[in-house]
């Protein structure tokens, strides 16, 4: 474990050095006549960028992050708005503004950046598309019951579990992964999923339960 930590810290420092290199950002290259101006970042680099954004308000780092996440958030919003591209772009931009404004609230030991950005996008979507409310608990509420098993090095575990989750997802059978994707990335209710796939709603529920069980087991095996 100690060796692993040292290794990861080393990697992080290296990635940090890379992030401090000034613009132009990676990935701005000509592909035929099309300027492909988005970037693809690995998890390690994202961690570094997030801390540069929250601690130093580094606009250059945010631009790199933006080019990675904006297309992804927009794609999510296109699905959530049932193909309304104009609205989707507006919502994706609002989501990324919130990421910039709330960066100091991001805690890398509690969640991965992509998870945190997903939750911001989801809440934005519920606000604007559904015009709904998403009630949430408040960790500062005196009635809130904290977890007494807060591990000391959760940040390392978080990274491991993110990698393990990706690994576990690839081992899920196609029809299990599909139900999860329709729920999380198409925003379909379980009854709409049943309709779309032409299967009973009970099957949707049991696939979700089994998939969750399998993913949890894979994660627990990983973090022993």
Partner 1 sequence: MRETAQRASGRNQMIEHHLDDDILSQYSAGTLTEGWSIAVASHLALCPACRSKVDMLDSLGGYFLEADDGRASDVSKSWEAVKARIDAGEVDNVVPLKVRSVPDRIYPEPLKRYIEAAGGLRWKRLGSGAAQMLIPTGDATTTVRLLKIPAGQPVPEHSHGGLELTLVLDGSFSDEVATFGRGDIEMADDNLTHQPKADLDKDCICLAVTDAPLRFKSRFMRLIQPLLGI
Could you say which residues in the range 137-156 bind partner 1, by CB under 8 A?
137-138, 141-149
Q: By CB under 8 A, tell whether 118 contacts partner 1.
A: yes
Q: Of the candidates 2, 33, 136, 198, which one interacts with partner 1 according to CB under 8 A?
A: 136
* CA 113 to chain CA mean position, Å: 6
Task: Tell me if residue 34 falls in helix, strand or coil.
Answer: strand
Q: By CB under 8 A, tell whether 53 contacts partner 1.
A: no
Neighbours of 181 (CB within 10 A): 13
- Looking at the Cβ atoms of 156 and 162, the one nearer to partner 1 is 162
CB of 184 to partner 1, least distance (A): 5
Q: Of the candidates 83, 101, 152, 174, which one interacts with partner 1 according to CB under 8 A?
A: 101
- Looking at the Cβ atoms of 49 and 62, the one nearer to partner 1 is 62
Q: By CB under 8 A, tell whether 29 contacts partner 1.
A: no
Q: By CB under 8 A, tell whether 87 contacts partner 1.
A: no
- Looking at the Cβ atoms of 2 and 144, the one nearer to partner 1 is 144
* Exposure of 164 in the CB half-sphere (CA atoms within 13 A): 17
Q: Which residues are paired to 36 by β-bridges? A: 29
Give the binding range for partner 1 (CB under 8 A) out of 2-10, 11-19, 64-72. Answer: 64-72
Q: Of the candidates 15, 52, 58, 74, which one interacts with partner 1 according to CB under 8 A?
A: 74
Cα-Cα-Cα-Cα torsion 14, 19, 22, 25, nearest 10 degrees, comes to: 120
Which ranges of the chain does DSSP label H, i.e. alpha helix? Answer: 2-20, 43-56, 59-80, 85-101, 113-128, 154-171, 174-185, 190-197, 201-222
Q: By CB under 8 A, tell whether 67 contacts partner 1.
A: yes
Q: Of the candidates 11, 26, 87, 162, which one interacts with partner 1 according to CB under 8 A?
A: 162
Max Cα–Cα distance, the chain, nearest Å: 59
- By CB under 8 A, how many residues form the interface with partner 1? 85
Q: By CB under 8 A, tell whether 115 contacts partner 1.
A: yes
Q: By CB under 8 A, tell whether 32 contacts partner 1.
A: no
For residues 211 and 184, is the Cβ–Cβ distance under 8 A?
no
Q: Of the candidates 165, 197, 199, 203, which one interacts with partner 1 according to CB under 8 A?
A: 165
The token pair at 174 is 């196609």
Residues in contact with 133: Cβ distance below 8 Å, sequence separation at least 6, in sequence order: 126
């Amino acid at each position: 474990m100690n060796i692993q930590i040292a290794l990861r810290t080393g990697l992080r420092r290296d990635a940090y050095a890379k992030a401090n290199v000034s613009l132009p950002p990676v990935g701005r290259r000509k592909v035929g006549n099309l300027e492909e101006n988005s970037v693809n970042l690995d998890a390690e680099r994202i961690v570094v960028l997030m801390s540069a954004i929250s601690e130093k308000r580094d606009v250059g780092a945010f631009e790199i992050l933006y080019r990675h996440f904006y297309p992804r958030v927009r794609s999510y919003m296109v699905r959530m708005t049932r193909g309304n591209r104009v609205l989707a772009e507006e919502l994706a931009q609002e989501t990324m503004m919130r990421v910039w404004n709330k960066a100091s609230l991001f805690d890398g030991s509690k969640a991965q950046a992509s998870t945190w950005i997903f939750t911001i996008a989801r809440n934005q979507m519920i606000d604007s598309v559904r015009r709904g409310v998403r009630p949430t608990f408040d960790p500062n509420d005196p009635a809130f019951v904290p977890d007494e098993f807060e591990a000391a090095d959760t940040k390392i575990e978080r990274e491991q579990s993110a990698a393990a989750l990706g690994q576990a997802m690839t081992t899920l059978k196609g029809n299990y992964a599909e139900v999860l994707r329709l729920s999380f990335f198409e925003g379909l209710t379980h009854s709409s999923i049943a309709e779309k796939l032409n299967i009973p709603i009970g099957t949707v529920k049991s696939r979700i339960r089994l998939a969750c069980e399998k993913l949890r087991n894979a994660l627990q095996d990983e973090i022993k």
